[in-house]
Amino acid sequence: MSTVAVRPLSSHCVAHEFSSESANMFTPTLRRAAAQASFGPKYYIPRHVGGMSLSTLTQAGTLAGSFGVAAGVFAVFFFGEVPRVRKDILQKIPGLDTYFDRTVAPEDNTGWTVE
C-alpha cells in the first residue's frame, strides 16, 4: 500500500489569498485598464473629492450661493428699519445711503423725534 504525502499550504499564503489586501493590490488605473474591454464601450471614472464630482460641487455651490444671497437680501430689508443698523451699517453702503435716509424735511417736522 502506498501513501501519498500532501503538503499543506503555508498559513501566509492562505491568509494573503483571502485578505482584504488582495482586493486593493492593483492601483485604480491598472484595475480600470484590466476591467475595460477593448471592444466594449469606452468609459471613464470622473475625478471626485469626498465622493462628489465637479458637476455635483458646482450645483451644490450654486444652490448654496443663491440661498445665501436670498438670506442677505432678507436681512438687509428686515433689519433696515432698526435705527442703529440703518445708521451704522446700511447708510455706509454707497448705493443705499439715500434709500435708507429717514430724515424728516424741516417743514414737516413737528418736534417729535422718532429715533
Report pLDDT for 115.
Answer: 60
**Which stretch of 3-7, 26-30, 66-70 has the lowest confidence by average pLDDT?**
3-7
CA 45/CA 34 separation, integer angstroms: 14
Q: What's the confidence (pLDDT) of residue 51?
A: 86
CA 53 → CA 48, 50, 62, 75, 106, distances in Å?
Answer: 4, 8, 14, 33, 62
How many angstroms separate the first and last alpha carbons of the chain? 115
Asked whether the whole model's pTM tops 0.75, one would answer no
pLDDT at res. 15: 45
How far apart (Å, rounded) are the C-alpha atoms in residues 115 and 109? 13
Beta bridge pairs of residue 49? 52
pLDDT of 8 > 80? The answer is: no
Distance in angstroms (rounded) separating the CA atoms of residues 41 and 63? 34
Q: Higher-confidence residue: 74 or 37?
A: 74
